[in-house]
Amino acid sequence: MTSKNEPLGAVLPRFMTLTDVAEELQISTAAVRTMVLKGELEAFQIGGRGQWRVDSQKFEEFIEQLHEEQRQRVETEQQHTETAR
């Protein structure tokens, strides 16, 4: 999906393949497929061969959710650390 010549943060296409998502996240396509099958990442199948697609807006929301979950973990850890003092 992204080439070596594209700048970071380039506009994503409307729909992404699981391979596109894997490249963006720098993980395996199998890991992305697992996230989809577990319901962690919203996707749909289309066409006669049931090819998976991820709406780029849903992908961006997924990334924001991951950031928010990390912020919550850091905040909880900081609270535990302050309480332990």
Q: What CATH code would you report for 15-84?
A: 1.10.1660
Q: What is the pLDDT along the chain (85 residues), one digit of tens a residue?
A: 545 555 556 788 999 999 999 999 999 999 999 999 999 999 999 999 999 999 999 999 999 999 999 999 999 988 888 887 6
What is the pLDDT, as a whole number, of residue 4? 53
- Quote the pLDDT of residue 79: 85
Question: What are the residue boundaries of the structural domains of the chain, listed by start?
Answer: 15-84
pLDDT score for 23: 97
The model's pTM is 0.77
Q: Report pLDDT for 11.
A: 80
pLDDT the model gives residue 26: 97
List C-alpha distances in Å: 35 to 6, 39, 58, 70, 80.
26, 6, 13, 17, 30
